Amino acid sequence: MNSSNTSRYAPNLWIRGILALVLVTGLIALALEASTLDFHPKLRRVTPSNAPVDAQQLIQHRQQFATFGNNSRAGEMQQDATISLEELLQLQNTSRTNTSEEVTPADLYHLSLLHGACIAHKDAIVSWKFGAPGINQENEQHNLDTLIHEDDPYLLQKLRQCPDVDLFLPSGVRNNGYCEDTMVYTKYLKTRLLPLWALTKKFYDPELGREVDYFDLCPKTPMLFFQHYWEDIPVTTVAQGEEDMWELDENHLWRVDVVLCKTRICEDRVKKWYEQQGNPRNAQVIYTKHTSSDQANYARRVLGNEVKPKNFSD
């Protein structure tokens, strides 16, 4: 009788042992995760109304500073960027009162047009001039003419017009999410989004009598990357980070001068990573907040009265 009971309860004991092991493993993992977090009070509260302005509003102050030499030639000394890192950090601390500034309908429409261009013309260089506010904003042919394609006969002359900062995003990841991010920077930095061919293509420069590439044309232009999509590009000075992208590691974070974070958690974790792993380039981590295009505004602009109020009784 005792032998029968022992046999019946043995599987139950085995199952309980497995469950206990799983529970202990989970608790250990939770403790390890908690040990990497910074329980600073700022992580436990909603961002106050006087928080630092987002990247869009910071960049609007760029007009205060000296204009960058857009037509710099290969081998010539370029001027300093329109806004330095120190000035950007200062603006982040001093422009807190401007967070209520409204974005105009024309600017919202511009963002939507840029977003569409980024997705529809994946292999083209997309400039901030596409759909820019003004008399030609809705002129489709004018906007298409601002795109730069690989077979453009004036490609060398156009590519060498170096902006304050260039953006890079491979054609294969020009989707809704990444185009939304990149086009905000494209618009407010008044710059351009480059595909991979723009960085690797060789050009014959008749004035220099030799072949040149992007890095010969714009040797001092900072490059803004998104996530880990760098395609082994040799020169990097700026990167955008995301706390949920495990692909970002020391191969990225030790090669940049600035990391832009859209969330406070990203800002906190990247700063802690630098504290623990070292920061040989003294890279700065900047919280930018997140900006998205206004699809409702775009629909109203395009469809007009065809857009009906939502009937919540359906």
Three-state SS for the chain is CHHHHHHHHHHHHHHHHHHHHHHHHHHHHHHHHHHCCCCCHHHHCCCCCCCCCCHHHHHHHHHHCCCCCCCCCCCCCCCCCCCCHHHHHHHHHHCHHHCCCCCCHHHHHHHHHHHHHHHHCCCCEEECCCCCCCCCCCCHHHHHHCCECCCCCCHHHHHCCCCCCEEECCHHHCCHHHHHHHHHHHHHCCCEEECHHHHHCCEEECCCCEEECHHHHCCCCCEEEECCCCCCCCCCCEEEECCCCCCCCHHHHCCCCEEEECCHHHHHHHHHHHHHHCCCCCCEEEECCCCCCCHHHHHHHHHHHHCCCCCCCC
Of residues 214, 76, 58, the one with CA closest to residue 148: 214
Indicate the pTM of the whole model.
0.64
Instruction: Determine contact, residues 290/262, Cβ cutoff 8 Å.
Output: yes
| Residue-range domain boundaries for the chain | 1-35, 50-306
User: What's the pLDDT score for residue 7?
Assistant: 54
Label residue 125 exposed, middle or buried (CB < 10 Å: 0-12, 13-18, 19+): buried
User: What's the pLDDT score for residue 181?
Assistant: 84
Amino acid making up residue 59: I
Give the side-chain half-sphere CA count within 13 A for 142. 12
Cβ neighbours of 263 (radius 10 Å)? 17
CA–chain centroid gap for 252, Å, is: 14
User: What's the pLDDT score for residue 79?
Assistant: 41
Q: Going residue by residue through the chain (314 aa), what tens digit of pLDDT does each one get?
A: 555 555 555 566 777 777 878 787 877 777 766 555 444 433 333 333 333 333 343 334 333 333 333 443 443 444 444 456 666 566 655 555 555 577 888 999 999 999 999 999 999 999 999 999 999 999 999 999 999 999 999 999 999 999 999 999 888 888 887 788 889 999 999 999 999 999 999 989 888 899 999 989 998 898 888 876 665 666 556 666 555 555 677 777 888 888 888 888 888 988 999 999 999 889 899 888 877 777 778 888 888 777 777 788 76
Provide the token pair at 16. Answer: 């309980």
Radius of gyration of the chain (CA): 25
Q: In what order do the strands lie in the sheet with 284-287?
A: 126-127, 192-194, 166-168, 223-226, 238-241, 258-261, 284-287
Q: Write b or e for each residue in 84-107: b if 16 or more Cβ atoms lie within 10 A of its Cβ, otherwise e.
A: ebebbeebbeebeeebeeeeeeeb
Provide the token pair at 307. Answer: 């857009």
d(CA 296, CA 294): 5
